[in-house]
């Protein structure tokens, strides 16, 4: 397996580029990809289900008319969730399916939709209660040998679930919800596991779904904004940048997945990698999140 993949400092999430959000036209997607590349950001995060199974194809229209981009970008996509949608009429209920059969079918669908010959990073999107690690490992090996997938990882896995699969196939990441509003990964062993395994955790929803910016009732968000204000002044930074710099400070090497489709926000966010909070500043934000000092 190719475990030498190096992620950009910021991964660009595409979930809300299409019908689930900004409804970008193909030309706008192309401009956004070029903008990210100009910033040195080459990683784009997908999942087969995004946009009710349409977002990969939306992105792929650009790749098909700009084949030069294949060598410039790195694509992560995910499989394993079966959504109820008119685009998949055979799905009677929302469920998970990590079987080899579904894995192979999902990858072929993603390759065709994206207009690429190889997926750089394939993630199992959610833990499947019926997960057979040997079955998955066989599918992974078949895909790797066929040149369809370079490397593999998981998303939203516990430490035990990660070990179960990693014992059979080398995994390069666990994509988790990590933010100042969602601290589980710091305390449940998943970041420690990433450090021990020398893999880069990737963080979805690094801004807590956006409520940290606007929620006037949530006391946790209010405390964080108050604690961040003097740091914003000290570093001449936006709240976005402080929140990302807080993630970057952790020695696990957390890589945020930014869900914005706005070039200006991506530009601002990309600058956070150059900020260096002190230990005390990091803990001030932690204290604000949990509402009390550390024990």
Please compute the mean of the pLDDT values over residues 229-255 and round it to a whole number: 98
- Per-residue pLDDT band at 265 (split at 50, 70, 90): very high
What 3-state DSSP class applies to 249? coil
Are β-strands 81-82 and 95-96 bridged in parallel, bridged antiparallel, or unpaired? Answer: antiparallel
The helix, strand and coil proportions of the chain, stated in percent and rounded to the nearest 5, come to 45, 15, 35
Which region among 66-75, 130-139, 175-184, 205-214 has the lowest average model confidence (pLDDT)?
Answer: 205-214
Query: What's the angle, vertex CA 229, arms to CA 226 and CA 232, rounded to 5?
Result: 155
User: HSE (CB half, 13 Å, CA atoms) of 149?
Assistant: 29
Predicted confidence band of residue 215 (pLDDT cuts 50, 70, 90): confident
pLDDT at 4: 76
Average pLDDT over residues 257-275: 97
Q: At what angle do helices 279-290 and 239-248 cross, to 10 degrees?
A: 110
Write the pLDDT tens digit of every residue in 52-101: 999 999 999 999 999 999 999 999 999 999 999 999 999 999 999 999 99
Distance between CA atoms of residues 210 and 187, nearest Å = 23
Q: Is the pLDDT of residue 209 over 90?
A: no
pLDDT for position 271: 97
CATH number of the domain located at residue range(s) 11-216+240-276 in this protein = 3.20.20.100
pLDDT, average across residues 23-42: 98
In degrees, rounded to 5, the angle at the alpha carbon of residue 250 between the alpha carbons of residues 264 and 202 is 60
Q: Are strands 149-155 and 119-124 parallel, antiparallel or unpaired?
A: parallel
pLDDT at 210 over 90: no
Q: 163-172, 208-217, 227-236, 273-282: which range is least confident on average?
A: 208-217
- 50 tagged catalytic: yes
Q: How far is CA 257 from CA 7, 61, 109, 229, in A?
A: 11, 22, 23, 23
Dihedral angle sign, alpha carbons of residues 29, 84, 98, 155:
positive
Average pLDDT over the chain reads: 96
When pLDDT is cut at 50, 70 and 90, the band that residue 1 belongs to is low
Residue showing tokens 């062993």:
189
pLDDT-above-90 percentage for the chain:
95
pLDDT above 70: residue 167: yes
Query: What are the sequence ranges of the domains in the chain?
Result: 11-216+240-276
Contact 261, 32 (CB under 8 A): yes
């Amino acid at each position: 397996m190719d475990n030498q993949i190096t992620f950009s400092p910021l991964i660009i999430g595409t979930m809300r580029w299409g019908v689930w959000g900004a409804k970008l036209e193909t030309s706008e997607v192309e401009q956004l990809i070029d903008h990210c590349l100009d910033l040195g950001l080459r990683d784009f995060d997908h999942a087969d289900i995004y946009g009710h199974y349409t977002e990969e194809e939306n992105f792929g229209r650009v790749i098909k008319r700009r084949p030069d981009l294949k060598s410039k970008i790195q694509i992560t996509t995910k499989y394993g969730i079966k959504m109820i949608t008119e685009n998949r009429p055979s799905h009677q209920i929302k469920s998970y399916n990590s079987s080899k059969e579904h894995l192979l079918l999902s990858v072929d669908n993603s390759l065709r939709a994206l207009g690429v010959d190889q997926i750089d990073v394939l993630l199992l999107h959610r833990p499947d209660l019926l997960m057979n690690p040997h079955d998955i490992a066989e599918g992974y090996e078949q895909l790797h040998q066929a040149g369809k997938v370079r490397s593999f990882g998981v998303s939203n896995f516990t430490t035990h679930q990660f070990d179960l699969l990693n014992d059979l196939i080398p995994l390069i990441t666990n994509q988790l919800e990590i933010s100042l509003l969602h601290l589980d990964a710091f305390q449940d062993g998943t970041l420690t596991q990433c450090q021990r395994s020398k893999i880069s955790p990737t963080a979805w929803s690094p801004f807590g779904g956006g409520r940290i910016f606007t929620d006037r009732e949530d006391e946790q968000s209010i405390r964080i904004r108050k604690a961040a204000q003097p740091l914003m002044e000290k570093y001449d930074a936006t709240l976005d940048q402080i929140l990302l710099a807080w993630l970057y400070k952790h020695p696990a090497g957390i890589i945020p997945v930014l869900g914005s489709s706005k070039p200006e926000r991506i530009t601002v966010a990309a600058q956070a990698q150059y900020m260096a909070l002190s230990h005390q500043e990091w803990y001030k934000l932690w204290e604000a999140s949990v509402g009390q000092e550390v024990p």
